[in-house]
Amino acid sequence: MKKKIVYNAGVLAASNIVVRILGLLYRIWLSRAITNVSLGLFQLSMSVYMLLITPISSGLPNAVSVLSAYRSTKEGDAAANSVLRSGLRIATAIALPIGAIMLVGAQLLSGILLHDIKGDIIIIALIPAVVLGGIASVPSAFLHSKQRSIVPAISEVIEQVCKIGFGVGIILLLNSKNNYINAAAAAAALSFGGIVSFFILRYSCGYKKNAIYKPQTKYLIKAAVPLTGSRALGALIQLAVTSLLPIQLMLSGLTKDAALSQFGILTGMAMPIIFLPTTFTSALCVVLLPDIAKCRASGNYRLIKSKINRSLLFTAVITAIAAICIAFIARPMGGLVYKQPLAGNYILALSPLVFIMGLTQVSGTILNSLKQEKKMLLYNLIGGVVCLVLMYVLTPISGLGLMGYIIATTIQSILICILNLFGINKTLKSNNK
């Protein structure tokens, strides 16, 4: 891979490592500062957050990154700046109505998605995170396409520090015993970080208003819709899974609070450890997407194939090592760090997912950069449905419980990964003819 790609990936990986470590320390503090029930409510709200931010921050930023890189190569910086301006207008037009719906329909959303109208305060606290945090993904993608990844990297670290500082401060200040208030405080901290990130990234792009502007709305929407649909569908299925999960756990004999508590341990304690290695794969994905787009613009498919092979090999080696390391530290993390042995059991059971998830993430990005968004939509749909069905069947089984969810999630990732690799191979073969 080119030195510039390695440098940008390295910068992003370094910032992601800092962000993940800070986030892990924050989760450890949260697990002790609030109850497992509060943590479970907050983690449930994260599925709602992912669903609502997906229309803004999934397909559109990728489309901006790819089209900016492509137009910059073909037509120069002015064309790339037009892509940014169009992207910001589209993001704003989507984000503001979503924010209004969250404000007006907080109780309805909470009742439907969290199964509890008392959670409306959590939905309201997430509004700035969805609106401004979602819009911020567009200038971030543009900066990556311009190979200025250091700016989003620094922004991520500042955002995380601000989020943690705000979260710790407000939870200590409120000193509440109310599970909903504590969950809302954690959500408000996420929003505060999103506000900070928006202003940093938007200011860093700094295009001139009087510059020549050629609207790119039609092209961006056309490129963004398939991926947005894919991510939205995935987020919707994930929301269905996480919303039904506590109910299915209760069918296995657990009380509502016990089900929420176990869900909080899994998603608030175990999952952050499992997602730590994505610091490397996420960084690679961000810089790989516009780079392959530039290669497509030049028609050099031999170079594209070389980049893809090396990226997948790098991902496989890094994630395999990470999975083994996490398996070794699983029990100590649960017992010594979290003071919760069940968290250690979940981390150990999830450790193989580190390797599979890394390959799935990178192969999905490669498919997207090859303009195979429709295939991504189909593959994610298949995987999501399989996960939902398996979770529904396995988790109510007495003695299995959340392990059924872990099995379902692992099978989902394996299936999507295989389909992604098959799609990449088929696309490359067709382009070489």
Angle, alpha carbons 323-238-311 (nearest 5°): 40
Which residue's entry shows tokens 């056309």? 222
User: Which pTM was predicted?
Assistant: 0.68
Q: Please report the pLDDT score of residue 362 as a whole number.
A: 85
Rounded to whole angstroms, the Cα distance separating 175 from 186 reads: 13
Q: Please report the pLDDT score of residue 296 as a whole number.
A: 66
Phi, psi torsion values for 397, nearest 5 degrees? -70, 125
Phi, psi torsion values for 122, nearest 5 degrees? -70, -40
Structure tokens that stand for 179 in this block: 């599970």
Contact 115, 143 (CB under 8 A): no
Rounded to whole angstroms, the Cα distance separating 340 from 431 reads: 52
User: pLDDT tens across 307-337, in order?
Assistant: 788 888 888 888 899 899 999 988 888 777 7
Instruction: Give the mean pLDDT of the chain.
Output: 82
User: pLDDT tens across 378-399, in order?
Assistant: 888 888 889 889 988 888 887 7
User: pLDDT tens across 19-50, in order?
Assistant: 888 888 888 888 788 887 888 888 788 878 88
416: confidence class by pLDDT, cuts 50, 70, 90: very high
